[in-house]
Amino acid sequence: MSWSPLSDLGVPLPLVAAPMAGGPSSPELVAAMNGAGALGMVAGGYLSPDALAERIAAARATGAPFGVNLFVPGPPLDAASRAAVDRYGSALAADLEALGAELGAVPEHDEDAYEDKLALLLEDPVPLVTTTFALPAADDVSRLRRAGTQVWVTVTTPGEARAAEEAGANALVVQGPRAGGHSGTWDPHRTITEESTATVLRTVALATSLPLIAAGGVDGPEAVRELRAAGATAAAVGTLLLRTVEAGTSAIHRASLADPRFTTTRVTRAFTGRPARALHSRFVEDHDDEAPTAYPVVHHLTKPLRTAAAAQGDAERVHLWAGTGFRAAREVPAATVIEELARDL
Ligand SMILES: Cc1cc2nc3c(=O)[nH]c(=O)nc-3n(C[C@H](O)[C@H](O)[C@H](O)COP(=O)(O)O)c2cc1C
């Protein structure tokens, strides 16, 4: 039998709780996933290294294997993109006025403390590190592996898969366009098309012999079976967990996922400057076509606006990340979601 990354970690089920930074992947959700026999993931994005260390300690206390996800930083913005960000700021004037909010301060460059988080993970190794947004340096991959850590790299195309294999990844997370939240694409200018995760998985499988974990649009056990039939060694699920009891999802995000006024999702750069799938709200409708591709600068620019909108209960202006399967997300214990997905596996 071929090597399996989840069996190697000691995870009983071929199911992964997709990392969801910004709140949803709470320590309680990680513990619930581990307790249910799925792989719990600590979402390291946006956390300070100290906060990440605390999350790691909490995950370790479950006694089960777990992973840590990191955002790999891209290059700093060029002058033209900075000018586009300034223009975008002006285009948000009416929204800011409606909320009584101001534009956020934009840092020169923000690498999400990637190097410090990496140093932490090398000093105090965890069972698994997964990455998204860009290719991690081959040297970093090999240092993590030498520390006894498995490394999975998120890819969205066959080309990314080949490069990640060359960089020494143990396995690949293949994220399809139907996934909720940010696309892991290494080229944020790329148009994110609408094909199924199974289709992306099959094309990636032709480019690599690494084990593949499929993510994007899972809305029930049938979707898991389809992805496994298409060659996935496991399926990762994000949106389905957003309304679970243990998730740290904000109240407005939870309510919006069940609000009949939101009927579709759309990939947009309007909130952060990187393509991300969200509920199709007024803000997305108004600003998607003028938003520059400039992550994380646009994330910082719109942050006070989004925070004010959430505080005022204005769901139309909050980044409501959601995959295409959002209608199937229910307010139940997270273990119930896993039990249902594992049925007939
Ligand atoms: C709220 C939210 C936050 C996310 N944050 C991250 C993250 O921090 N790192 C990451 O690699 N992927 C992130 N993703 C993507 C998920 O890991 C995963 O690819 C996606 O949820 C799978 O598709 P699904 O939502 O249709 O299940 C996020 C997704 C959502 C919905």
Which of 16, 20, 321 to mutate to test ligand 1, by most ligand atoms within 8 A of the CB atom?
Answer: 20
pLDDT band at 344 (very low <50, low <70, confident <90, very high): confident
List all residues whose CB is within 6 A of at least one atom of ligand 1.
18-22, 24, 43, 45, 69, 132, 154, 175, 178-182, 184, 215-218, 236-240, 321, 323, 325
Here the tokens at position 321 are 């990340």
Tens digit of each residue's pLDDT (9 = 90 or more) over 45-62 = 999 999 999 999 999 999
User: Which protein residue has the closest C-alpha to ligand 1 atom 21?
Assistant: 238
What amino acid is encoded at 219 in this protein?
Answer: D
Distance 242 CA to ligand 1 centre (A): 10
**CA separation, residue 80 to residues 8, 75, 289, 319 (Å):** 47, 14, 17, 25
Q: Beta strands of the chain (E only): which ranges?
A: 15-17, 40-43, 66-71, 128-132, 150-155, 171-175, 181-182, 212-215, 234-237, 265-268, 276-279
Distance 106 CA to ligand 1 centre (A): 24
Q: Answer yes or no: are the C-beta atoms of 156 and 276 closer than 8 Å.
A: no
Distance 131 CA to ligand 1 centre (A): 12
In the chain, the domains with their CATH numbers are 5-74+112-249+327-342 (3.20.20.70), 81-110+263-319 (no CATH)
Q: Answer yes or no: are the C-beta atoms of 339 and 333 closer than 8 Å.
A: no
Tens digit of each residue's pLDDT (9 = 90 or more) over 326-335 = 999 999 999 9
Mean of pLDDT values over 127-151: 98
The pLDDT of residue 252: 98
pLDDT band at 108 (very low <50, low <70, confident <90, very high): confident
Ligand 1 atom closest to Cα of residue 44? 8
What amino acid is encoded at 277 in this protein?
Answer: R
**CA separation, residue 194 to residues 118, 177, 199, 241 (Å):** 33, 6, 10, 22
Distance 94 CA to ligand 1 centre (A): 30
